[in-house]
Chains A and B, each alone.
Chain A
Amino acid sequence: GQQVMQIPQYQHVQEGEDFTTYCNSSTTLSNIQWYKQRPGGHPVFLIQLVKSGEVKKQKRLTFQFGEAKKNSSLHITATQTTDVGTYFCAGRRSAGGTSYGKLTFGQGTILTVHP
């Protein structure tokens, strides 16, 4: 079945340093989504990437979708303590019509930011 691998599992940074998490799928994806989960909370949607080679930015966050639509990355510039949490990628294989299909989640990257 489809697998989505995410690395690293843990990342500790000093406030102000950059952070990147990488996501790799065993199959071609129709789209990839990124979520953030604060400690004790539930995942909150950040962004969806659909097109091959797509790059999207949200303030200090930059999201990329690979040309082959099998990998993705999330980069945070100049981390802040508010960035603490677990970042998940989630890939979808089927799309279109009324079929929503399944999202396969990566294992997540737990980000700790030291002030």
Chain B
Amino acid sequence: GAGVSQSPSNKVTEKGKDVELRCDPISGHTALYWYRQSLGQGLEFLIYFQGNSAPDKSGLPSDRFSAERTGGSVSTLTIQRTQQEDSAVYLCASSLAGGTQYFGPGTRLLVL
């Protein structure tokens, strides 16, 4: 596609529920990144994929967070048993290997 797309754009959920956030990277981009941006905060790195493998998962805040990427394309970030502190904008970016990252519009998650 023309750019990185993310869905849903907004998600409201109840505490304790699981959520799945989806990222469609730019076609041909081998690298994919997930970040979290809390209100008024900078970007917090979560996880990085090169192809389908994740060489760097160091940013995942807890074992409630997981991510996968299939076919070297679409990625899903899953948050289990959501907590209120998970409320944030989740941003996805893709790039060619080692290249400039291009960001999607983000998914705004609100946990009530």
Whether A and B are associated in the same complex: the answer reads: no
Binding site for B on A (CB under 8 A): none
Binding site for A on B (CB under 8 A): none
